[in-house]
């Protein structure tokens, strides 16, 4: 299941748990359900916050790559020396690698955090 699907499922479980808390007979059950709901809500909120932070980071890296691409185009127009162009191309390649690493890290982090929700959603 993808990240958005996990978040939607977690939200649905929160709703179900809240409904359950209104029909339980003991304070112990009520408190347990409330604790699970609070923990799950906290996880969902943390996931959403992390997703926004990661998207912002990736956007910054994407802009960095575009700026380096533009520098190469400008350098080509100015007929810079081959070694200067090669250095700019190497910088661009490094920026692209950095961006891809950030994307891979974001995918891994999203999956890991969502997997933390599974024991709560399938309890």
- The number of folded domains in the chain is 1
Confidence of residue 123 (pLDDT cuts 50, 70, 90): very low
Q: Compute the chain's Rg from CA coordinates.
A: 23
The more confident residue out of 59 and 24 is 59
The fraction of the chain above a pLDDT of 90, given in percent, is 0
pLDDT of residue 122: 44
pLDDT tens per residue across span 62-83: 888 888 888 888 877 777 777 8
Indicate if the pLDDT at residue 117 is higher than 60.
Answer: no
Domain extent at residue 53: 3-121
């Amino acid at each position: 299941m993808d990240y958005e699907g996990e978040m939607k499922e977690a939200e649905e479980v929160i709703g179900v748990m809240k409904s359950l808390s209104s029909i339980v007979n003991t304070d112990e059950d009520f408190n347990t359900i409330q604790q699970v709901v609070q923990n799950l809500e906290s996880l969902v909120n943390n996931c959403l916050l992390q997703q926004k932070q990661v998207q912002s980071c990736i956007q910054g890296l994407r802009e960095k790559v575009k700026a380096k691409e533009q520098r190469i185009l400008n350098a080509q127009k100015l007929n810079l020396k081959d070694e200067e162009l090669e250095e700019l191309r190497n910088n661009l390649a490094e920026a692209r690698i950095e961006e891809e690493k950030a994307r891979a890290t974001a995918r891994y982090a999203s999956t890991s955090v969502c997997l933390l929700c599974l024991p709560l959603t399938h309890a």
